[in-house]
Amino acid sequence: MTPRRRFWHVAGAGTAFQAGSAAVDSATVMSALVFQLTGSAVAVGAVSTILRLGWLLPQLFVGYFAGRGASSMPFYVLGAFGRTAAIAMLAIALWVGATLGWSYAALGAVTLVLWVLYAFLSGIVGVPYNDIVARSVPSDRRSRMLSIRFFGGGVVALLVAALADKLLRTLDFPISYAAVLGIAACLMLVSSFIFTAMGEPEQTTPAKAATSFTAYLREGAVTFRDDPVFRRFVFAQWCGGAVLIAAPFFIVAANGLGVGLENVALLLGAQTVGALAGNPLWGWWGDSRGKLSLMRGIAIARTAPQIALLVLLLIPVPPEAAMPVLLAVFFVLGALANGLTIAVIGLLMEISPDDRRPAYSGYFNALTAPAFVLPLVGGLAVAASGTWIVFAAALAAAIGQATFLARIDPRE
């Protein structure tokens, strides 16, 4: 397959997945679903924590096994088709459970269990995806490829958001959410088929694999100690992960401000429009100015949504005045989320040696995983002190991320 066709296969698969993942967005759809099923701030905080830890923790082990094997694609197949099946099972469970009259508590428990399964199967995808994409798309085209992925996914996600809005307003809860998750599963299935149809390019350099898992872990410790760029990137990502302490609570805060949960699809639509609007900028910035420069800009911009929510929460405003501000906040959140993904993936690929890319991905994601427990801690904090506390913590974390990124010098 030609490099041009590989470029469009990766972008096309990403487009379908991006649209599908919007329908299971942890900060809007899933947070609203879990909040309505459980009424628990801790459970809402667990949604984001489960997703992030499930994404990150398997990558330490996948990085080791993928580095030792001749191919990364089997790991991608397992994770991609597995996570699709998990979302399909959740959609079926909500539909069947609602039909049979299960209690909200039972449906909430089933939702969280299948969400854990989805998250950990998704985590298997990360290492092989980065490895295959890095070998399929040249560095100077990766940011544009990712921006095309997010733009195309955003266009489809807008259609999904419009359909989700209609479903959430016309179908009974939770059958409405079952229908939305069914759409997500279909789009993820399309994505998996497109990516696997591309095949996997051959390794240009022999992979450097550790002789045992113990040696692999030891090499990770040495890498963290001896590679200052990698180490500071990990520190920055710890702070970046801490910013997500607030992610599940934007929708809870909106509900507290009088903007009902029936408006979830509108907020998701604003988030999707923001993602679309930001893509051309992120693609140009990452390829022209560099991934590190993009990371620094995104880190500074991540302070804005936290400041806006703190102002709304500390200065009472009527719901009709809060709604436009919340739409703007979700617009910015959508734009920044895509820019952050483009920057993190691109920068990690650039600082990883070609012969150790799976290992670097595994080390990086395992080392940064602890920070993503914080949304669960945020749930406890919200239950004790109110939603303002998580936005204040996220603001401090965003400032910390920008500070660490400013200290990275790629020439070291």
Q: What is the pTM (predicted TM-score) of this model?
A: 0.70
Query: Which residue shows structure tokens 């990150």?
Result: 56
Residue 203 lies in a domain: no
Instruction: Estimate the crossing angle of helix 264-288 against helix 139-170, to 10 degrees.
Output: 180
Are the CB atoms for 332 and 398 separated by under 8 Å? no
Q: How confident is the model at residue 289 (pLDDT cuts 50, 70, 90)?
A: confident
Give Cα separations from 395 to 5, 239, 314 (angstroms): 42, 10, 15
Say if 411 falls within a structural domain.
no
Provide the sign of the torsion angle of the four alpha carbons 158, 159, 160, 161, taken in this order.
Answer: positive
Give the confidence band of 45 by pLDDT, cuts at 50, 70, 90: confident
CB 142 within 8 A of CB 133: yes
CA 17 – CA 126 distance, rounded (Å): 13
17, part of any domain: yes
Domain for residue 58, yes or no?
A: yes
Q: Which of 354, 375, 410 is nearest to 138 (CA)?
A: 354
d(CA 81, CA 333): 28
Supply the CATH number for residue 152's domain. 1.20.1250.20
pLDDT of residue 91: 94
Banded model confidence at residue 203, pLDDT cuts 50, 70, 90: low
Q: What is the pLDDT of residue 22?
A: 81
* Structural domains in the chain (count): 1
d(C-alpha 354, C-alpha 405), whole Å:
23
Dist CA 48 CA 38 (whole Å) = 15
CB proximity list for 132: less than 8 A, separation 6 or greater: 72, 73, 76, 200, 201
Residue 94 has pLDDT above 90, yes or no: yes
211, part of any domain = no
Q: Report the mean per-residue pLDDT for the chain.
A: 83
Any domain includes 210: no
pLDDT of 68:
66
The predicted structure's pLDDT at residue 205: 57
How high is the pLDDT of residue 156? 82
Instruction: Tell me the range of 160-169, 174-183, 239-248, 269-278 where mean pLDDT is highest.
Output: 174-183
CB 193, CB 99: distance < 8 Å: no
In a domain, 204, yes or no: no
pLDDT at 184 over 70: yes
Considering only CA atoms, give the Rg of the chain: 20
Distance from C-alpha of 374 to C-alpha of 304, rounded to nearest angstrom: 20
The span from the CA of 243 to the CA of 392, in Å, is 10
Q: Which of 55, 377, 20 is nearest to 193 (CA)?
A: 20
Name the one residue in this structure whose structure tokens are 């550790």: 210
Cis (ω within 30 of 0) for the bond into 174?
Answer: yes
The lowest-confidence range among 33-47, 247-261, 307-321 is: 247-261
Q: Are the C-beta atoms of residues 77 and 196 closer than 8 Å to each other?
A: yes
DSSP character at residue 387: T
355-365 pLDDT, tens digit each: 677 777 778 87
Express each pLDDT in 216-246 by its tens digit. 778 888 888 888 888 888 899 889 888 888 8
DSSP 132-190: HHHHHS-HHHHHHHHHHHHHHHHHHHHHHHHHHHHHHHHSPTTHHHHHHHHHHHHHHHH
What element of type H or E holds 97? Answer: helix 73-100
Domain-embedded: residue 200 = no
Q: Which of 157, 6, 191 is nearest to 83 (CA)?
A: 191
Q: Contact 139/349 with Cβ under 8 angstroms? A: yes
Residue ranges making up the domain that contains 78: 3-195+216-406
